Structures are given as C-alpha cells and as structure tokens.
Amino acid sequence: MPKKFYITTAIDYVNGPPHIGHAFEKVQADVLARYNRALGNDVFFLTGTDEHGAKIVRSAERAGVPVKEFVDLNSKKFQELTRVLNISNDYFVRTSDREIHWPAIEKMWRELEKSGDIYKKIYKGLYCVGHEAFITEKDLVDNKCDIHKTQPEIVDEENYFFRLSKYTEKIKQKIKSGEFKIVPESAKNEILKLAEKGFEDVSFSRPSKDLSWGVPVPGESSSTIYVWGDALVNYLSAIGYGSEGFKLQASRSTGPRMFRLSAKIF
Ligand SMILES: [Zn+2]
C-alpha cells in the first residue's frame, strides 16, 4: 500500500499580488511533493488563497475595485504563479469558494457547537486592522501598534470564542510526545513555554457590521466567522470535508507540462 503524503503551503492572502517569497515557498513544497511521488507515495499537494477579512476590503477600496473583483484578480495571479513555476499542486483552494470551502466551515462550526467548544462573550479590547487581531497595551508604542504604526480601534463587542484554553494540556502532551512535531527545536520550545502559561480562548467571530466580507455564522447573519474558523479550514475543505461525495477535480494536468518561467507577474 502506498503511503499517503499530504502537503500544503500556507494559503496566500490576496490583499496584493505574489512576490518572490511566495514563489520560494511553492517551489520548496513542490520539491517535497515530487520527491514523494517519485517514492511511489500517494501524494496530495495543496495550495490556494485566503480571501476574506477587513484588510482585503480596505485594499479593494484603495484600488477602487469591488471586493469580489479584487480577490478574483489577485487569486488569479497566484494561480498563474503556480503555472509559470510548473508547480505540481493537485488542487488550488479559494476561501471564497461557496461550493467547496463554505460547506466545510459550516460543518465544523456545527460540530464545535455540539461539543460545547464555542461560546459567546462580550469582549473589550484594542483591535489592529494590520494584525487582523486584538492586540494588547504592551504591543503599543506612542499609542500605535509597533508593527503596523497605526492606532488600534477600541472595540467593545459580543463575539464567539473557541475554548482553546480547554486544550492546553492535550496540546502540550502531543507536542512533548512528538505526535505534533514542531521544527526547529527552538520553535517547539517557544510554543511549550506559551503552553506553560496556558492558552487563551480565541475569538472566532466578528460583528458583520465590521466584517462583512466573510462567511456568516450559521443561522446568525449579524456575525461573520473570523479568520481562525474560516481560512484554516481550507486544509480540510480541499480534501472533501463538508462536501462528502463531491469529487474534487484535480487542477493538475496528467500529461507532461511545459516548463516555462516568466518574471512578468512579480
Ligand atoms: Zn498591528
């Protein structure tokens, strides 16, 4: 029986076109995918684009283009990148894909609801659009986010949270035992140090008045699912989670491919 080998890149954020760093990552993943195919393993190689969020809406506004058109255009550039680099990905996932990606999110949300892992609470905090996340006072220099050099918004809202804190011990054990492998060792130790303090629950939704470009919380149109409950699900949706019975069309052609290089998209 051939061994299953599933490899993914990060999915790229489409608030801008690809750059050389994206190309580098795809090529590295491609090498591993091709190597494993050569060993006779059953390989599935995934890449794609992360297309929701307030930062994308703002980038589209700045470009003067409707947001759907903006993400289509930039996602196409990333797809073109895989073509010109002759990347052998089996599928290209898009988080704006309502047929394949969205049903997976909904399924996961329902599962988490059932297991009691998501709950609602009022949250007060500082929100940095650049981070697409809440930051704390210690991230500020002169009242501005030290990374993005912008003033955070003061936010007081009711959001869904995922009970990550409940899983601190379990995650710690799996990392220590090597079941979850983190390399290099320094990164592993860093995560274990965070785990010692205990993980905090993670915001899983934003009010749709502030985040309209995204997937609505099932049965609640006033909330939009936040990046953690949306983008990360791509690793499941692309292999059929939530669309059981739906056969994904591999985007890779089966015949030999012409190797072409073009610098024009950078
Ligand atoms: Zn920031």
Find the 76 Cα to ligand 1 centroid distance in Å.
Answer: 28
pLDDT at 149 over 50: yes
* 188-241 tens-digit pLDDT: 999 999 999 999 999 899 999 888 999 999 999 999 999 889 999 999 999 989
Per-residue confidence (pLDDT) for residue 47, from 0 to 100? 97
**62-66, 180-184, 242-246 — which is least confidently predicted?**
242-246
The answer to whether 160 touches 118, Cβ cutoff 8 Å, is yes
Closest CA to 115 of 171, 158, 159, 166: 166
Find the 22 Cα to ligand 1 centroid distance in Å.
Answer: 22
Find the 129 Cα to ligand 1 centroid distance in Å.
Answer: 7
Find the 142 Cα to ligand 1 centroid distance in Å.
Answer: 13
Tokens of 114: 């059932």
Residues whose Cβ atom is located within 5 A of ion ligand 1: 128, 130-131, 145, 147-148
**3-12, 21-30, 40-49, 133-142 — which is least confidently predicted?**
133-142
Find the 174 Cα to ligand 1 centroid distance in Å.
Answer: 31
Percent of all residues in the chain with a pLDDT value above 90, rounded to a whole number: 77
pLDDT at 251 over 70: no
Find the 140 Cα to ligand 1 centroid distance in Å.
Answer: 9
pLDDT at 264 over 80: no
What is the DSSP code string of 127-173? Answer: EETTTTEEE-GGGEETTEETTT-SPPEEEEEEEEEE-GGGGHHHHHH
Which secondary-structure segment (H or E) carries 48?
strand 42-50
Find the 150 Cα to ligand 1 centroid distance in Å.
Answer: 7
Upper half-sphere CA count for residue 15 (Cβ side, 13 Å): 15
Return the higher-pLDDT residue of 125 and 31. 31
CA–CA distances in Å: residue 192 to residues 90, 176, 177, 247 = 34, 8, 12, 39
Find the 130 Cα to ligand 1 centroid distance in Å.
Answer: 5
* 174-193 tens-digit pLDDT: 999 999 999 999 999 999 99
Cut 0.85: pTM above it: no
Find the 139 Cα to ligand 1 centroid distance in Å.
Answer: 8
The answer to whether 112 touches 162, Cβ cutoff 8 Å, is yes
Find the 183 Cα to ligand 1 centroid distance in Å.
Answer: 26
